[in-house]
Amino acid sequence: MPYKQPVSVLVVIYTVNLEVLLLERADFPGYWQSVTGSRDGEESLHETASRETAEETGLDANSHRLTDWQMQNVYEIYPQWQHRYAPGTLRNTEHVFGLQLTQKMAVQLAPREHLSYQWLPWNEAADKVFSPSNRAAIIELPRKMNHV
């Protein structure tokens, strides 16, 4: 199995009413997050965000408003996922995207990745995610929507 690149995307999927889609990890039940995933090959970050959205939710990002939030987070890779990266790779650079939907939609989960999903108001979603960078991105959502 080839190693993952230490370059990833975080895609906050939300509605115009500031409801956020959260996914429960299959490998860590009780851990909730937005769509995430590493870049494959030489694909652009926009392509990575679109691919990961389709793989994890069944949603076609090209049918909605996918935007690069121009936010990057550099963080240490969690020990439980360190084996997925080349030896000596300790940090990942995550690029944040937003995918705006007009309303909540049912999604098709990738069963090997996620157990369930839920839509929550943005402030509740921010409190529920386990990742500090995911929390920070969700907290930015009202500003991104000009609802300050």
Q: What is the CATH number of the domain that holds 18?
A: 3.90.79.10
Q: What is the pLDDT of residue 147?
A: 47
Residue 1: inside a domain, yes or no? no
In this structure, how many other beta carbons lie within 10 angstroms of the beta carbon of residue 30?
8
**Which residue has 């049918």 as its token pair?**
63
CB 13 within 8 A of CB 20: yes
Residue 2: inside a domain, yes or no? no
Tell me the pLDDT band of 1, cut-offs 50, 70 and 90.
low
Cα separation, 64 vs 89, whole angstroms: 34
Domain count of the chain?
1
65-85 pLDDT, tens per residue? 999 999 999 999 989 889 999
Range of the domain at 136: 7-144
**Which amino acid, 128?**
K
Question: Which residue in 73, 77, 74, 72 sits closest to 90, CA to CA?
Answer: 77
Residue 86: inside a domain, yes or no? yes
Q: What is the pLDDT of residue 146?
A: 72
DSSP structural state of residue 78: P
Q: What is the pLDDT of residue 78?
A: 86
Residue 13: inside a domain, yes or no? yes
User: End-to-end CA distance of the chain, in Å?
Assistant: 45
Are β-strands 35-38 and 32-33 bridged in parallel, bridged antiparallel, or unpaired? unpaired
